Structure formats: C-alpha cells, structure tokens
Amino acid sequence: MTTVKLEDARRVISAAEKKARDIGQPMNIAVADEGGNIVAHVRMDNAWIGSIDISMKKAYTSRAFDIETKELAKHSQSGGEFFGIHVSNNGKIMIFAGGIPLKLPKGMPDWTSLICMPFPNRETLGNPSLL
C-alpha cells in the first residue's frame, strides 16, 4: 500500500482552494492518510475557525469508514443502523456532509485521501476529479 504523501495532499488542497475561490466560499481543507492521520490542513483566509476541527474530523471519519460523511449521516439518524456513531472513536466521528474518500485513478497504487469542507457549500468541493 502506498501512503499519502505531502505532495499529494498539497495537490488536493490546491484544487480545493481553487474551487472554493471560484464559488466565493473560504474553506478549511484537510487531507488524511490511509490511517486517518492528517497529512495536511489549510484554513483559507476568512474561513471559519470553528471548522478547523470539523474538517479534520470529517477527514478521519470518511477514511475510517470508507464512506462519504453525508452517506454515513443518513444511516446515523434515530432508528438508523449507525445511530450514535458520532459519539464513538473518542469523539473523532463527524457526520456533517463534506468528508469524502478520494481514490487515485485506476491503475495507480491504491490509497485513499480525503478532502473535507465545512458548511456551507460543503458538497460542492467534494469532487473526486480534483485529483
């Protein structure tokens, strides 16, 4: 398994920053490696300070469960099969939309990195084509 390198994380962050500027929404962007460890994080000028922690937790969550946090949230509602998951893993689980596992293109070594954006417009940036 190939690990997510800082160079890869910078490429993801650069693409996300460009998209955030295009839509006029400053963002916190976090990239995690295959173990859920943060490789890089950027808080764009004027991005919410409160979203720093949120973006990193979305990166961890998406990697830990290999699922978009938006999808995990659907199953985490009262009565759902994952109800209460947000209080697991020592509080590291975040079920807001925006945590998205990204895969390298086919034929490349298999690793997962994540790009995570806070509310609002959090779904707009989560586009695997950024890699």
pLDDT of 119 higher than 50 = no
23-58 confidence digits (pLDDT tens): 999 999 999 988 889 999 999 999 999 999 999 999
The contacts of residue 59 (CB under 8 Å, 6+ apart) are 30, 31, 32, 36, 38, 99, 114, 115, 116
| CA 20/CA 59 separation, integer angstroms | 17
Domain coordinates of the chain in residue numbers? 6-130
CATH of segment(s) 6-130: 3.30.450.150
Q: Between 24 and 111, where is the model more confident?
A: 24
Query: Does the structure show a pLDDT above 50 at 114?
Result: no
Question: What integer pLDDT is reported at residue 49 of this predicted model?
Answer: 95
pLDDT of residue 101: 83
Determine the pLDDT at residue 59: 92
Answer whether the bond into residue 120 is a cis peptide, omega within 30°. Answer: yes
